[in-house]
Amino acid sequence: MSKRTLSEICNNSLTDSKAEDLLVLDVENISSFADKIIIATATSNRHALSVSEKLVESLKENKFNILGVEGEIDSGWVLVDCGDIVVNIMKKEQRDFYDLEGLWGEKTLLTQES
């Protein structure tokens, strides 16, 4: 399956799980580990874990390999590594503090959804 399909599955799963403030960054030309980074906000630690579990389930159902899932339930940040796409599911406090959008730069922004 294509990268586009992978991105669509990730975005659909995150939206269905009520993740907020979805943002897709194109880092293909500046990163060696991924082509896109997706950032989504969760409302609580439990929500972040639930969103990540549903994402992993959806990816497996669609025959995508997951390279890894990192993050503890109380950390407020779960990372799902899908190879070409890395998904960061973060509580607002962690998202504001780590400011991944600012780290990667404005020119990488592809889309932003509410």
* Alpha carbon 5 to its chain's center: 15
- The closest of 113, 99, 46, 51 to 79, measured between CA atoms, is 51
The Cβ of residue 63 has, within 10 Å, a number of other Cβ atoms equal to 7
Residue 114 confidence (pLDDT): 38
- DSSP secondary structure letter of residue 17: T
Reply yes or no on whether the pLDDT at 113 is more than 60. no
pLDDT value of residue 1: 52
Which domains, from first to last, does the chain contain?
A: 3-98 (3.30.460.10)
Ramachandran angles phi, psi of 80, nearest 5°: -115, 115
The DSSP secondary-structure symbol of 114 reads: -
User: Residue 102 pLDDT more than 70?
Assistant: yes
Neighbours of 33 (CB within 10 A): 11
Per-residue model confidence as pLDDT tens digits over 22-75: 999 988 877 788 889 999 999 999 999 999 999 999 999 999 989 999 998 889
pTM for the whole thing? 0.87
